Structure 1
Amino acid sequence: MQYPDILHHGAVTGVTGSCHQLLMDEQHSLLVDCGLFQGAETSAEGRAGADRLDIDFDISTLKALVLTHVHMDHVGRLPYLLAAGYKGPIICSQPSAQLLPLVLEDAFQFTFGRNAQLLQKYLKLIQQRVMPLPFRTWHSLIDTPDLQARIRLQRAGHILGSAYIECDVRYPKRGEQKRVVFSGDLGATHTPLLPAQKSPWKADILVLESTYGDRLHEDRRTRKQRLKAIIEQALADNGTVLIPAFSIGRTQELLYELEEIIHHATNPPRSRLSSPLPLAGEGLGERAKTAPHQMTGEGPRFSSPLPPAGEGPGVRETTASKKTPEDSPELHWPALPIILDSPLATRFTRAYRDLQHFWDAEAQKRIKVGRKPLGFEQLLTVEPRRPPAHGAPSGQHRPPRHRDCG
């Protein structure tokens, strides 16, 4: 066999179950991620994901497990790796080291039930094995006369703590060296809260995720405006907006953007309030789009998120039907309740707050001026249901309440 070589134990015929083994020689290998197969996806052997939990590959040469990030399709089989006898370090970024126990605690409860003793045993074992590494810092794994190997974590921009892995493998006696890069999951540019990622400057072997390789995503820089327009349309219709979102990553991005919308609605720029004329760089048409009610006396205009059938791509503008004050209450962003209806998402949001020194520069600026991007006044959280008190109705729900998450 020619080294280095790579064995893929997941995320080959599908997008979940990420698990890649870098074989460096007959006695040394490195495992990148150990994820869970999810949904209807199957393993390479064709078994259903729900039954694909055991570790059926040789781990005797494993010297380290490196995690790109803490989503379940990248860490979900970690308990089974430990049960199979793995005793090496679990290497990840510093934010991932703090988020990992929260992710696995929730997963363990589904896997092992409510056995608190077993749960604490596994969590303690994982915390003992976790080795957090700072970004952009080389860490030596192997240093022998025949083999030298080191790794470095670089920001991937997917969720807080996500990284792509650079592995330098050197064979001194052969005079050969290879750099192998594992991308993990890569985030888009302009992701809220996360510092911008930078591409690796070289790679001899690249293992690249391609979950959305056949799609063109919309520009994230305009997502906030689309979100605002959709919510305003719903409020004008006396409606409610329900947004399904992953509890870690997507939820915090949404809260960050909602706080920004509310902040600007509460504190509009003075220049736009005081000047009836177009600002520098704005044409009259653009000014009319941003404030049509000031110039024409019409009601507010909203953007439809999707063009109607038969129309080309782009955003279609429609004029909201006029309603009397009795029919439609005034749109008042500062009083709009934002309900985070997930105890798990609340825990992750609090963890994001504790890791705010890993946020990007823009988020840091907001904190310095007293804003709370993940714990603003309008944010309400739903507490987990507890067993009812003696004599209380068993079906009673706990109302949402304010929780400082940021």
Structure 2
Amino acid sequence: MIDATMTKRMEEATRLTRAGKLQEAMAVLQGAIPESSGVETPDTAYSEGNTFDGTCEVIDEESTESNPEPAKSPAGAFTSGDIKVPAAWRDKWMKFRGGIVQPEQAPSASEEPQPGTFTAGRFTNHVGTRDYKLYIPSGYTGQALPLVVMLHGCTQNPDDFAAGTQMNRLAEEQLCCVLYPAQPATANTSKCWNWFKTEDQQREGGEPEIIAGMPRQIIATHGLDKSRVYVAGLSAGAAMATTLAMTYPDLFAAVGVHSGLPHGVAQSLPDALGVMQGGTGPLGGGKSKGASWASEVPAIIFHGDRDTTVHPRNADRVAAQYSKLRQAGASVEQGKVVNGHGYTRTTHHNAKGNPQLEQWRIHGAGHAWSGGSTKGSYTDPIGPDASKEMLRFFFIHRLASSQL
């Protein structure tokens, strides 16, 4: 475990980062690892170039990226637009990874062919530009289908995430469209959604505004059902999904958070590392920056209890931000996948008996998409099917007419 001295260094680095003294903060972090070398060049926060409000361009039918970069952690706290962590620190942090063994690179991250279309496109607004992949099931004939937005973890891309979650197969069976925004290396060198940066935690600004603009454009283009738009993610993508639930509750009818983190609890790299570890972040004894955030968007939460990349207690912290959905007398169910993981599901229902908040604790699982396919990275095939359960939960919910 990180000892007390290292913890103090992280806290001091956090203070210096908030004060804008990035070099001093980096020096403190490097002091915790004597063998580390100098500071690397910061990455570019967003790609430069001309942007046009609300434009959407189809690029081609093939993926622009066939394989994810070598994986470090899909939670994405190793790099940011401010500072980078030296390799020695990164290697030390990697010792905290748990769960099933994953290849450092998914050699053939491609989903089994589906009869629908899986098209690449690009969205641009005044904040920036992001590529995406969109799956439209073969049963689509112009009707107002639901839309599920899927946010990948670090080092992943839309093709990898689609292959691992198998969401396109389910979309074909249950008739919905699936949108996979892509985070480029120009925004974060590990392709992480920047959940730990203040400018990317607000409504009408940063990455949340870009992501929120995508489904609006897709809905208008294809005539989809704007009352049934859902968002889900893994790790850094899950953290961004809950950020969207907090900042755009008028857009998303439900949210799925897999191995994620609470909204607004980190504003710097040291903050993020502490929150991920579970004991040294703002909610681990310091001032709780995320406590004031709350959302009434129905939520389904998955987390492995042996996750050493994002500490399992973060699932409880995420659930706490949806506390308005909690009802007295929640039901608790124990179950087990045949030849797989056991789980505990805690469900809070509304007055009509519909689940408003579900929390799944997967026993023995690490940092991986439960029930996913090995065709994608960061998956655990022997857990309950998170994709199937999320769609079941999502389709119970739609936005009230007053929110449209």
Q: Shorter-chain TM-score: what band?
A: under 0.3
User: TM-score when scaled to structure 1?
Assistant: 0.23
- Higher relative contact order, chain-length normalized (CA < 8 Å, sep 6+): 2
User: TM-score when scaled to structure 2?
Assistant: 0.24
